[in-house]
A and B are shown apart, each in its own frame.
Chain A
Amino acid sequence: MSFLNYLISGISLGSIYAIIALGYTMVYGIAKMLNFAHGDVIMVGAYVCFFAAAKYNLPPAIGILAAVLVCTTLGIVIEKLAYKPLRQATSLAVLITAIGVSYFLQNAALLLWSSSPKVFPNFFAQQTVNEAGKKIKITGFQLFGGQLRISYVTLVTIAACLVIMAALLLFINHTKLGKAMRACSEDKGAAQLMGINVDATISLTFAIGSGLAAVAGVLLCSAYPTLVPTTGSMPGIKAFTAAVFGGIGSIPGALLGGLLLGVIEIMAKAYISTQMSDAVVFLVLIVVLLVKPAGLLGKKVREKV
């Protein structure tokens, strides 16, 4: 039964990775760049939601909405200020800029919100009164006589991941903006000559990716409630790994990679060693990339000779 417990928390963690990985994979697919500041957008989203809910006592839904709005705007602003001027530059220059933006966001957060950890409230808990008349919070439910514990956060996370994934696939495959995005991802020059505004399409991609990062930030901090300015960086790197694992540029790949990475990480923690879990995760990544260099669902690009 403990295996099932681990599996469920693995899927839950994996769902968060998957949502973050979507941001990486979409931006890579369309702008052909690795946005290493993506992880720190998660952190900003979590802080915005924290302040809205814990400081100003706004309802959780408003807090999440505020986080999404702020992060969407932040994503567009980052793209316009930092990446757009480098559209013609080498990919290395863009990569270094992205790392710079990442440190900028972390240090700005440090200045604004200090390094002292914030305890993120659990939005997905029910308030009840127990037999002794004390107020308690129920964070989940139990099955099989208490052997299987599932928290509400877990359920919400998995559901959110599936809904986001389905909505995004519908959007990309069946709307004209989605078609414009796919066209830009294949050939920006030809897309422009079809009357598609490439700059606007790239902005839209950053907006969607960053909005999703905000959702991921709220879910992440609901499950692991310590919030510091570096909260986003490790999940960001893990999600990037997940995106590569699944095949960067592929949306179903991000889902698959995220879920597998989450499950492998939790299983490694449970059965091998807590300290070694990250090493195991990256070992699996290396093995997968040796066998399938384009990732699990990635397309092999044949060089024309």
Chain B
Amino acid sequence: MPKEFKRDRLVQVPGTALLPERDVERSPILECRHLGIDFGGLRALDDLDITIGRTEIAGLIGPNGAGKTTVFNLLTKVYNPTRGSVLLDGMDTAGKTTAQVNQMGIARTFQNIRLFHNQSVIDNVLIGLHNEMSYGMFASILRLPSFWRAERIARGRAMELLSIFGLEVHADELAGSLPYGAQRRLEIVRALATNPALLLLDEPAAGMNPSETVELMENIVKIRDTFQIAILLIEHDMNLVMGICEGIAVLNFGKVIAKGSPEDIRANPAVIEAYLGRKGAAQT
């Protein structure tokens, strides 16, 4: 576990939600109510109720095919839910497009890295800063001072974000030429550039070795502390999940089978059964 990492106690708030103690006074950043989606006859996700606090690091775990990435796709409006609703900062995201949801404050990374591989590292971040730059087409064609000012500010901001992950030295290299671990870090930087209130990380530690994973854990906590945002992550690495997540939800076959603190989850028989099978669970 990263040093100086303080984990808050989870507190039950009215309406069955669990929030870290420090976030209880403030309205949650994300609320999913009875969220569900069907693909044809397949009920891929059903009755998902999760609540995430303003500065919570939350985890979504479950066996392969449980519907974890589907949750991310629903939150970012890549899919439209069949049932239920998603409230971001109290506002319903129904009827919004993916781009609009991003502007409302949700950013994400991908399980399989989806950087703009043929563009430079800094351009990837500048694309993330797209909506932060306010100059019109007119100003950019005529190269008015407002254009140069906005470009300069954006570049400065991009370098600042890159330096969190020590990527500033690679700024002018092609994103596709970075080593795997650096590409994963760049994806997080690019997502942060869109100025999110909630950051979704889809298997951020996939393919990382243990020491890289520890560094990643420290960085995730650092991001939360610096930007004061909420982070929801999908991860199979239990050291990472149990190490830094405050609230954890466990999915199996599209249903939440357990919610709570890492300690609760670790001791929950339903979770052990989902991961190890009934026979395995009986042996523990």
Contacts and interface: CB of A to CB of B under 8 A. Distances in A.
B130 A180 contact: yes
Interface string A164-182: 0001000100111101101
Contacts of A196: 99, 127, 130
Contacts of B147: 175
Contacts of A174: 151
A161 B226 CA distance: 50
Interface residues of B, number: 34
A11 to B, nearest CB: 27
Contact of B140 (A176, A197, A198, A299): A176
A198 B102 CA distance: 13
Nearest to B123: A179
A192 B118 contact: no
Interface string B75-118: 01010000000000000000001110011000110100011111
Interface in B228-270: none
A278 to B, nearest CB: 35
B137 interface: yes
B184 interface: no
Nearest to A173: B123
Contacts of A179: 123, 126-127, 130
A171 B127 contact: no
B117 A186 contact: yes
Contact of A194 (B97, B127, B137, B140): B127
Interface in A145-172: 167, 171
Contacts of A117: none
Interface residues of A, number: 23
A192 B110 CA distance: 13
B144 to A, nearest CB: 12
Contact of B133 (A176, A187, A193): A176
Contacts of B135: 176
Interface string B136-172: 0100110000010001001000000000000000000
A133 interface: no
Given A193-B102, A196-B99, A186 B116 contact: yes
B55 interface: no
B27 to A, nearest CB: 23
Contacts of B97: 192, 197
Contacts of A186: 116-119
Contact of A195 (B102, B151, B154): B102
Most B-side CB within 10 Å, residue of A186, A190, A191, A193: A193
A183 B128 CA distance: 10
B99 A197 contact: yes
Interface in A190-220: 190-198
Contacts of A171: 140-141
B185 interface: no
Nearest to A182: B119
Contact of B110 (A167, A176, A190): A190
A59 interface: no
A269 B189 CA distance: 56
Interface in A50-84: none
Most A-side CB within 10 Å, residue of B117, B128, B135: B128
Contacts of A100: none
Contact of B99 (A167, A195, A299): A195
A197 B133 CA distance: 14
A198 B99 contact: yes
A140 interface: no
A195 B194 contact: yes
Given A171-B141, A182-B116, A189-B114, A194 B128 contact: yes
Interface string A269-305: 0000000000000000000000000000001000000
B68 interface: no
Contacts of B128: 194-195
B54 interface: no
Nearest to B129: A176
B177 interface: no
Interface in A234-283: none
B64 interface: no
8 contacts: A171-B140, A176-B135, A176-B140, A179-B130, A192-B99, A194-B102, A196-B127, A198-B99
Interface of A: 167, 171, 174-177, 179-180, 182-183, 186-187, 189-198, 299
6 nearest A-B pairs in the assembled complex, by CB-CB distance:
A195-B102, A192-B98, A175-B140, A190-B114, A186-B116, A195-B131
Given A186-B116, A190-B114, A192-B99, 5 more contacts: A179-B123, A182-B123, A182-B127, A194-B194, A195-B194
